[in-house]
Amino acid sequence: MSIHADPRALLPTTDAAERRAALFRERPLDVAERWTLAALRVLKPSRLGAIPGFAKTYFEEVLAPNDALPDPERARDNPPGLAGLVHGNLTLDRLLAAYRYGLYPLAHVAPLKWWSPPQRSALLFDDMHISKNLGKTMRQHRYSVTFDRDIERVIAACAGRRKGRWHLTWITPQMMRLYAEAFDAGHVHSFEVWNERGELAGGGYGIGYGLGFTSESQFTVESNAARIGMTVLNWHLAKWGYRFNDGKLIGPLWTSMGFHEMPRREFLSRVHDAARLPGKIGRWHVEDDIDTISHWRRGERPTSPLLVEQPLRERNFRNQLADA
């Protein structure tokens, strides 16, 4: 059985629809900038070797389009992880099916592509690490964290410009609207980090599928704000029985928090097991205070009645599958 919130709470309000119309858009100049930077990125000497792989994928799929999801284990070696093209409009059902299959969509410019990297960055919660400095900052009571409070602003901020970096984002208006639709259905979740003045200091969002979770993007306005929010999110994912937080590709932020790379086959096996189990669908709420979470130590597991019930729920679910 899945855990659901009040269905009425999942419907977008008129205010939310208006905010999305205002925030989920690009000016023509922004579109031109994105396409130009994407072209320059492809033409970098270190990326030129990937062009034949892209060209072959386009050629094959234009000649023989296939609406089925590509096999994530047969993704290309170069560019690493390219599994295929997204055909037609990407719907919410297809998006969720792809994540349950170990794929995710990403493209800076059309066409949208499916990816399954040979090495996947993932956090197994027993490996979660909170540095001494981050724990100290969390105990200073300068920030508060919420879930699912302002998905529109979080997505828009994740797609926004970053100081000292070229503005090349894969979070296009198409993807913004799709993830907002998944939020309305109770599958996408955001975390918001608020400073003492009530301003949004950082945030991020991701998507759940069964007891698996993929972090899509984060942003920070103030130092360590996104780390605090992600730590609170990981605590709750562990507490609610989730099996991993998928970070897609490894980076300094992920490494510092205990994420590590695992081979594609191992990751896909974990996705297969997690996606078959019922997850927490609906609006999420922060259940524990930041001070408590700041004392989380590697190898410890947050306790929750859900974890006590989980083995029974999993056994019942497997029995239902066997009887089907």
Check for a shared fold between 7-117 and 121-323: no
Q: Give me the CATH code for the 7-117 domain, please.
A: 3.30.70.3550
Whole-angstrom distance, CA of residue 249 vs CA of residue 71: 19
Q: What is the mean pLDDT of residues 120-131?
A: 94
Fold category of 121-323 in CATH: Aminopeptidase (3.40.630)
**Among the listed residues 62, 101, 59, 107, the one whose alpha carbon sits nearest the alpha carbon of residue 264:** 101
For 30-84, the pLDDT digits (tens) are 999 999 998 998 889 988 899 999 999 988 888 777 788 999 999 999 999 999 9
Ordered by start, the domain boundaries in the chain are 7-117, 121-323
Task: Please give the pLDDT value at position 68.
Answer: 87
For 198-249, the pLDDT digits (tens) are 999 999 999 999 999 999 999 999 999 999 999 999 999 999 999 999 999 9
Residue 11 has pLDDT above 60, yes or no: no
| Residue 276 Cα distances to 37, 121, 189, 198, 243, angstroms | 40, 21, 20, 39, 12
pTM: 0.86
